[in-house]
Amino acid sequence: MEQTLTARALHPVRLTEIRIHGRGGQGNVVAAYILAQAAFEQGRFAQAFPSFGPERRGAPVSSYVRLADRAIQRHCQVRNPDFLIIQSQGLLHVAGLTAGLKPQGGILINSARDLPELEAEAADALESRNVIVLGADALATGILGKPLPNTALLAAFLALTELLPLNALEKALARRFKGETLERNLALVRAAACEVPAGLWREVAHA
């Protein structure tokens, strides 16, 4: 009955929390798992989990990622994420989509439209937020042949926040894909990364 939990430095663990929104069948959970895997590849600590409950093809779903500098012990919901990744712009008019996002929090949206159009259409969700739009569907279709936006969005997210180097994401992808599919995904990562202003969210991410 000795002390079992290793002694912990008494400063609270510093976390970066991300919420990913998508539709059932859009690889929403896979995106969270890949991002956590990328952090793990980089020797960082991470945790990823889906929104618990039945997922139906097409239904709006969300998944969560926590990144940290040391082991994450907590097992509870992410309430105030630092960033949002929205895989389908159609979700913008789902009530409370951006609820809980920290004031400075960045929103990365997969959409073919430009920012003013989106802001006009979903004012309450996006106004006074810093939002980056990425045409991930088109990018993915061009390279993978299918509009699977998750890899492109993760690459753009890491380019914006520089939380992890891109090759961490590439190593994570290498664990899941191989051969031709892997090559195409790696190409997509490089293509998507330079579509967004590198390091724009650096300060926010490392605040």
Partner 1 sequence: MLEALEGSAAIAKAVALCRPQVLSAYPITPQTHIVENLASLVADGQLRAEMVSVESEFSAASVVLGAAACGSRAYTASSAQGILLMTEVLYNVAGLRVPVVLTCANRAISAPVSAWNDQQDSMSVRDAGWIQLYCASNQEAVDTTIQAFRIAERCELPVMVCVDGYILTHTLEPIDIPTQEQVDAFLPPYRFSRMLDPLRPISIGNLVTPEYYAEARYAHHQALLRAKDEIEAADRDWAKVCGRRSGGLLSVEGPDDARIGILTIGSVLGTLADAREEYPDPPAKLLKLRSMRPFPADAIRHACRGLSDLVVLERALSMGSGGIIGAEVRSALFGEPNPPRVHNFAAGLGGRDMPLEIYPRLLKAAEAPEPTRFAIMDVELQKLPETER
Partner 2 sequence: MAADEKASLFELRRAQPAFRGLEAGHLACQGCGQALGARLVTEAAGPDVIVANATGCLEVFTTAWPRTAWRVPWIHSLFENAPAIASGIEAALKAQGRLTKVVAMGGDGGTFDIGLQALSGMLERNHNVLYVCFDNEAYMNTGIQRSSSTPHAAMTTTSPAGKARMGKRHLKKDLLSIIAAHHIPYAATASVAYPSDLRKKVRRGLEIEGAAFLLVHSPCPLGWGHDGALTVEVARLAVETGVFPMLEMERGDVVAVMQIRNVRPVTDYLKLQDRFSHLFDESPEARVELEHLQALADHHIEVYGLRGTSPDPRDSEGADTVRRGGLRWG
Partner 3 sequence: MGLKTPSDALVTLTRGAFAHAGSSLGLKTGDWRVTRPVHVHRASPCHNACPAGENPQAYLALVEEDPRAAWSKLVSANPLPAVTGRVCHHPCESECNRGRFDEPVAIHAIERFLGDQAIEHGWDYPAAKPPPDALEVAVVGAGPAGLSAAYHLSRRGYLVTLFEARSEPGGLLRSAIPAYRLPRSVVEREIERLLSVGIRLEPNRRLGRDMILADLEKSFRAVFLAPGAERGREWSVGGVVPRDLRNGLELLQEWISIGSLPKYERVAIIGGGNTSVDLARVLKFNGVPEVHVISFRTRPGPGVSPDEAMPALAREVKQAIEEGVIIDDCRGVTRLILRGEQVVGVELVHMKKLPQPDGTRKPVAFEGTETVLRVDHVIPAIGEEVEPFGMEAVLGANRFFAVDAEGQVQGCRGIFAGGDARLGGGTVSDAVGDGRRAAEAIDRYIRGVALAAKAAPPSIGIGELNLNYFDHAPRAEIRFLAPEERNAEAEIEAPLGAGEVARESERCFSCGECMTCDNCWTLCPDNAVLKTMETASDGSHYVFDYDYCKGCGLCARECPVGFIAMVDEP
Residues that bind partner 1 in the complex, under the rule CB under 8 A: 1-5, 8, 10-13, 32-33, 36-37, 40, 45-50, 52-54, 71-77, 79
Pick from 8, 14, 56, 178: which binds partner 2 (CB under 8 A)? 56
**CB of residue 36 vs partner 1: minimum separation in angstroms?**
5
User: Strand, helix or coil at 52?
Assistant: coil
One of 93, 102, 146, 178 touching partner 3 (CB under 8 A): 93
Query: Whose structure tokens read 């195409």?
Result: 184
Q: What number of other Cβ atoms are within 10 A of residue 150's Cβ?
A: 25
In the complex with partner 3, the residue whose CB is nearer, 91 or 152, is 91
**C-alpha pair distances (Å), 84 with each of 17, 111, 128, 130, 185:** 9, 14, 15, 11, 22
- By CB under 8 A, residue 59 contacts partner 2: yes
Q: 76 φ, ψ to 5°? A: -145, 175
Tokens of 96: 């409370």
Of partner 1, partner 3, partner 2, none, which one sits near residue 88, judging by CB under 5 to 8 A according to partner kind? Answer: partner 3
Residues in the site for partner 2, rule: CB under 8 A? 24-25, 54, 56-59
